[in-house]
């Protein structure tokens, strides 16, 4: 079986928190083992200083990785961490060091944070570094002539490589499982989206179209107040049919691989022939998590569609911006504004609010800046951990 973990770079590696938890537990255990060995068995003439050093190293390294999460994904931080544990082994003046278990913990983050082959190369380099320390600590030829001691040094040299292989393999398996789960979820969503689109097109839309034909035939046979009611009903049916067309088109066109700003510009181009309004889309929200992008686009598209179909506006502007961990989408028009009474069967505003709540975004809908038209303002977090997505 050939392992080729996706070469996506250390700053993009998932599962970091899991491996950090493993580092925390094993490093504390390794430090405890080292202190215990130094207390019960004299290793050097400066064992007291070594105990202070190992406690300081453990506290500082874990605090640094915990308080500065980016260090968990930094090769430079891994390198410094590895040098520090090898320095402790060197200070113990013996390659069979009480710091050996502690030393192995330095392999956790690089082995799980790099693509498989690079992780393996890191493990080999670390093993060679330990070999250099062993030679410096007076690993003599006499030790190599004794089969038991030779086996011991061989074991000590191979363990870092085995630990690296095991961790890298586990990380690779977890990543493959994650990718497969995401692919399965995406296929399930696409299948459900297609099913709903078929039902809307083949059932609900056909019934709306039939009702429109019946009322159209009736419209020519009546007059007065009844004719006005029928005209209003025909208008609502046309709007319902247009809304279904929009829903079907959006259901059949997944967002994957396209940005929110691109999709909103495409939606503006689709709506432009249906209105005399000037539609302008400016700015960008950058890259967003998939579920956040999907809901943000739907909210922006609904606001834009409402402005075109119901606002009677001359100018419609969609403004997108990004500021650190936050992004905003604003749709403004100079039309007639929000109706005093909600249109029968209209669920657009309620749907927009529900979508905003789903991703933990703040949505405000009201009058434009000069008291004219409508302003829809969406403020959302670009980091999925800052949202409040519900299952």
Cα 375 → chain centroid: 29
In this structure, the answer to whether residues 175 and 321 fall within a common structural domain is no
CA atoms within 13 A on the CB side of 295: 27
Which domain covers residue 273, as residue numbers? 256-391
Q: Is residue 31 part of a domain?
A: yes
Residues composing the chain:
391
pTM above 0.85, yes or no: no
Q: Is residue 165 part of a domain?
A: yes
Interatomic CA distance for residues 110 and 80, integer angstroms: 12
Give the pLDDT confidence score for residue 185 in this predicted structure: 72
> Which CATH number characterizes residue 317's domain?
3.30.565.10
In this structure, the answer to whether residues 164 and 263 fall within a common structural domain is no
In sequence order, the 6+-apart residues with CB closer than 8 A to the CB of 371 are: none
Of 181, 216, 243, the residue that ends a domain is: 181
Give the pLDDT confidence score for residue 275 in this predicted structure: 78
pLDDT at 55 over 90: yes
pLDDT at 256 over 70: no
Query: pLDDT for 299-355, tens place per residue?
Result: 998 888 888 877 778 899 999 999 888 899 999 998 887 766 665 545 677 888 888
In this structure, the answer to whether residues 22 and 162 fall within a common structural domain is yes
Query: pLDDT for 169-179, tens place per residue?
Result: 998 898 888 88
Residue 327 β-bridge partners: 322, 380
CA atoms within 13 A on the CB side of 10: 20
Both structure tokens of 22: 């493993």
309 backbone dihedrals φ, ψ, rounded to 5°:
-85, -30
Interatomic CA distance for residues 40 and 60, integer angstroms: 25
For residue 312, the SS3 value is: coil
In this structure, the answer to whether residues 373 and 265 fall within a common structural domain is yes
Residue among 337, 342, 330 nearest 372 (CA): 337
Of 146, 162, 181, the residue that ends a domain is: 181
In this structure, the answer to whether residues 137 and 40 fall within a common structural domain is yes
Q: Is residue 233 part of a domain?
A: no
The answer to whether 91 and 52 are in contact (CB under 8 A) is no
Residue among 307, 300, 283 nearest 379 (CA): 300
Query: pLDDT for 60-113, tens place per residue?
Result: 999 999 999 889 889 999 999 999 999 999 998 887 889 999 999 999 999 998
Interatomic CA distance for residues 50 and 87, integer angstroms: 11
């Amino acid at each position: 079986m050939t392992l080729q973990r996706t070469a996506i770079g250390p700053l993009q590696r998932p599962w970091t928190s899991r491996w950090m938890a493993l580092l925390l537990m094993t490093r504390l255990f390794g430090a405890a083992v080292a202190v215990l060995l130094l207390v019960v068995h004299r290793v050097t003439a400066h064992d007291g200083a070594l105990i202070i050093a190992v406690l300081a190293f453990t506290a500082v390294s874990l605090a640094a990785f915990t308080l500065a999460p980016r260090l968990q994904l930094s090769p430079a931080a891994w390198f410094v961490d590895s040098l520090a544990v090898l320095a402790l082994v060197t200070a113990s003046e013996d390659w069979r060091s009480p710091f050996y278990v502690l030393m192995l913990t330095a392999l956790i983050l690089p082995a799980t944070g790099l693509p498989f082959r690079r992780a393996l190369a890191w493990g080999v380099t670390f093993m060679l570094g330990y070999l250099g320390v062993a030679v410096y600590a007076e690993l003599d030829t006499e030790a190599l002539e004794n089969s038991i001691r030779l086996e011991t040094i061989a074991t000590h040299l191979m363990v870092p490589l085995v630990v690296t292989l095991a961790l890298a393999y586990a990380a690779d398996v977890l990543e493959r499982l994650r990718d497969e789960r995401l692919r399965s979820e995406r296929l399930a969503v696409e299948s459900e989206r297609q099913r709903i689109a078929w039902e809307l097109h083949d059932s609900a839309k056909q019934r709306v179209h039939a009702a429109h034909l019946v009322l159209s035939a009736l419209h020519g046979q009546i007059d007065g107040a009844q004719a006005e009611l029928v005209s209003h009903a025909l208008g609502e049916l046309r709007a319902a049919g247009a809304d279904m067309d929009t829903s079907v088109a959006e259901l059949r066109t997944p967002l994957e691989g396209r940005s929110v700003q691109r999709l909103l510009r495409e939606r503006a181009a689709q709506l432009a022939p249906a209105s005399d309004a000037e539609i302008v889309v400016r700015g960008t929200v950058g890259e967003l998590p998939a579920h956040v992008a999907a809901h943000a686009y739907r909210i922006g598209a609904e606001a834009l569609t409402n402005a075109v179909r119901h606002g009677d506006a001359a100018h419609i502007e969609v403004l997108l911006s990004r500021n650190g961990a936050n992004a905003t989408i604003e749709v403004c028009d100079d039309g007639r504004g929000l109706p005093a009474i909600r249109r029968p069967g209209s669920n657009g505003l309620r749907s927009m609010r529900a979508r905003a709540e789903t991703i933990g975004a703040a949505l405000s809908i009201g009058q434009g800046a000069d008291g004219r038209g409508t302003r829809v303002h969406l403020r959302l977090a670009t980091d999925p951990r800052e949202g409040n997505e519900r299952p």
